[in-house]
Amino acid sequence: MLEHQEVLIKYIDFFIEKDLQNLTLNFSDDSFLYFTIINERIFNIHGLAKDYAKQISELREDAANNNIDSYEYYDLKNESFKTKESVTNSSTIKKIKEVEIDNNDQAESVEEEPREIDEEELQNFRERLVLVLDKAKTVFDSINDNDESN
Amino acid sequence: MKEKKQINAFFKEFATQYIPGGYIELFDPQKITKEHMFYGVPTELNCETVEMETKDKHYLFRKISDKSFLQISAEKRTYNAGILKSISKKVVKELFALIKN
């Protein structure tokens, strides 16, 4: 938890230093981490890219209704970081946990069989991708190296 | 260097065509100064793109390699984050095509 919180605080410090209104990080596994400031509180949420708009919309609605127990946030007024653990016993969290358990049950019941992959096609694709990326990387890096020498 | 000139010309042409008033550049995150918006981004999380929004501007940074990031930025009153994202994908795609040729 401490490590997780330390990383978040670094991003929150960055957010404050640059005077940002929104900050989004997107990762290769199609997940995102989002920071935003609402009523002097810097919220952070994370999830899958496909749920990005929905989660942000929910956050804004919850913040407008002050229903924020289930969010981690940094309070600029009190200069304090509120973790999910600090609100674990709230009724909102209990409700969320119940819903999550239900969803997990449902997810297990509708789990699909893994799709069969054509190995040869995959291998060909990998080889083509590596060639293109290697070439691009060499060119991009040489541009930056040349920037320095110029 | 021919490639550098080609890339610069490409960015200039691309910006004029798709994002007038906006800015496109390729940079090495190790060589930027503290005035750069990307300066100081925590490195704990290895991300593909970073989007920032200030009072008046959108910034999009897309990782191309460890030493090369693409930056696209523009005024908020003219462009939204989704447009910058689409443009960045188009830039990378056309840049790759340029390099391949």
Considering only CA atoms, which of B28, B70, B82 is closest in space to residue B61? B70
CA B66 from chain center: how many Å? Answer: 14
User: Which domain range does residue A145 map to?
Assistant: 114-150
pLDDT computed for residue A105 by the predictor: 57
- Name the residue facing A14 among B41, B67, B95 (closest C-beta): B41
The answer to whether residue A30 is domain-embedded is: yes
Contacts of B34 in chain A (CB under 8 A): none
- Name the residue facing B54 among A21, A28, A146 (closest C-beta): A21
The ipTM is 0.87
More confident residue, A79 or A119: A79
pLDDT computed for residue A20 by the predictor: 97
Task: Give A 11-30 residues with CB within 8 A of chain B.
Answer: 11, 14, 17-28
Query: Based on the domain organization, do A123 and A49 belong to the same domain?
Result: no
* Cβ-Cβ contacts under 8 Å for B10 (sequence gap 6 or more): B94, B95, B98
Cross-chain Cβ contact B54/A20 below 8 Å: yes
* pLDDT tens-digit series, residues B4-44: 777 778 888 888 888 888 899 888 999 999 999 999 998 77
Contacts of B52 in chain A (CB under 8 A): 18, 20, 22-23
* pLDDT tens-digit series, residues A12-35: 999 999 999 999 999 989 999 999
Strand-pair partners of A34: A24, A45
Query: Based on the domain organization, do A74 and A9 belong to the same domain?
Result: yes
User: Which domain range does residue B39 map to?
Assistant: 2-100
The answer to whether residue A143 is domain-embedded is: yes
User: How many domains does one find in chain A?
Assistant: 2
Instruction: Indicate the residue among A70, A87, A104 that finishes a domain.
Output: A87
Query: Based on the domain organization, do A80 and A6 belong to the same domain?
Result: yes
Q: Is B51 on the interface with A (CB under 8 A)?
A: yes
CA A119 from chain center: how many Å? Answer: 31
Are residues B72 and B23 in contact, defined by beta-carbon separation less than 8 angstroms?
Answer: yes
Q: What is the CA radius of gyration of chain A?
A: 21
Query: Based on the domain organization, do A55 and A125 belong to the same domain?
Result: no
Query: Based on the domain organization, do A13 and A52 belong to the same domain?
Result: yes
Query: Based on the domain organization, do A80 and A38 belong to the same domain?
Result: yes
Query: Based on the domain organization, do A82 and A17 belong to the same domain?
Result: yes
Q: Once rounded to an integer, what is the mean pLDDT over residues A47-53?
A: 93
Whether the predicted pLDDT of A91 surpasses 50:
no
Whether the predicted pLDDT of A94 surpasses 60:
no
Query: Based on the domain organization, do A59 and A121 belong to the same domain?
Result: no
- CATH number of the domain where residue B62 is located: 3.30.450.30
The answer to whether residue A145 is domain-embedded is: yes
Q: Is A146 on the interface with B (CB under 8 A)?
A: yes
Task: Give A 42-81 residues with CB within 8 A of chain B.
Answer: none
CA distance linking residue A138 with residue B14, whole number of Å: 22
pLDDT computed for residue A59 by the predictor: 95
Contacts of A149 in chain B (CB under 8 A): none
Whether the predicted pLDDT of A89 surpasses 50:
no
Strand-pair partners of A72: A44
Whether the predicted pLDDT of B3 surpasses 80:
no
Sequential DSSP letters for chain B = -HHHHHHHHHHHHHHHHH-TT-EEEEE-GGG--TTSTTTT---SS--SEEEEE-SSEEEEEEEEETTEEEEEEEETTT--HHHHHHHHHHHHHHHHHHHH-
User: How many domains does one find in chain B?
Assistant: 1
The answer to whether residue A99 is domain-embedded is: no
The answer to whether residue A97 is domain-embedded is: no
Cross-chain Cβ contact A141/B67 below 8 Å: yes
CA distance linking residue A34 with residue A17, whole number of Å: 16
Tokens representing residue A64 in the block: 């407008």
